[in-house]
Amino acid sequence: MRQIVLDTETTGLNHASGDRLIEIGCVELVNRRLTGRHLHYYVNPERDIHEDAIAVHGITLDFLADKPKFAEVVNEIRDFVQDAELIIHNAAFDLGFLDMEFQLLGLPPFRQHAASVIDTLREARQMFPGKRNSLDALCDRLGVSNAHRTLHGALLDAELLAEVYLAMTRGQNSLVIDMLDGAATGGETRAATDLSALTLPVLLATDDEISAHIGVLKGLDKASGGKTVWQESAPAEATAL
């Protein structure tokens, strides 16, 4: 399976009001492994860049003055993502800008060239509800080093997002990846381990642990004014403890 992790930087926040793309960075994953292939362009937006945006990514119009216009790199971008699954953090933002750039050139929307899209922001909100799920926050939470990230940059952020995505989804695929290791490296595939004869020990709570647990539940029930769900649904002998 071929996946492309993608990020962009822009002149501002709103493509509908004329903001433009100024940087795109993509890294390639094949069978959940980084291949080393990447695509990276700075783009001359042919318009001013908002000061707030410069404070985020540090890219100035002077720096972009000799960079190619989007029309000059659109074919390379389209070919690199063709039929791949895209992985993007807050996908609606990046896809909005890319679709607009393609539209300005009279081309079909950018997203039509991809097989599908994974929005890691949406996935993170489901995985970590109520928590901050920015790229920096996810790096901290998942143990991905971002110490070298002082400003936003499309290629750097795509590389970080690739590591974050793999960390977020490793539990879903680790057994499959282990089985594929031999084939991927040309070595022997590991044989499956027979666990049918394995007896797992059952550790029961001690009387002291049960008493402590009941004490905690009673304290919570008292603090809620007797409205805890477990007290309402518990059998009579349990509530009498």
Q: What is the mean pLDDT of each run of 10 residues along the chain (241 residues)?
A: 96 95 97 96 97 94 97 98 98 98 97 97 95 94 83 90 95 49 47 63 85 84 74 53 48
Let me know: does 76 contact 110? Beta carbons within 8 Å.
no
Architecture of the domain made up of 2-185: 2-Layer Sandwich (3.30)
One-character DSSP codes across 188-214: PPPPPP--TT------PPPHHHHHHHH
Whole-number Cα distances in Å, 27 to 13, 50, 107, 156, 239: 23, 27, 24, 10, 57
46: which strand partners? none
At 176 the pLDDT is: 44
23: which strand partners? 9, 42
| Cα 177 to the center of its chain, rounded Å | 19
Domain limits, the chain: 2-185, 207-239
Q: Which residues are catalytic?
A: 152
Q: Give the tokens for residue 111.
A: 């997203």
At 39 the pLDDT is: 97
Whole-number Cα distances in Å, 145 to 65, 135, 142, 214: 33, 11, 9, 42
Whole-number Cα distances in Å, 28 to 32, 34, 97, 126, 203: 9, 6, 21, 25, 46
At 189 the pLDDT is: 44
- Choose among 54, 97, 53: nearest CA to 77: 97
What pTM value is reported for the model? 0.70
At 218 the pLDDT is: 84
**Euclidean distance between CA atoms 172 and 185, whole angstroms:** 21
At 194 the pLDDT is: 62
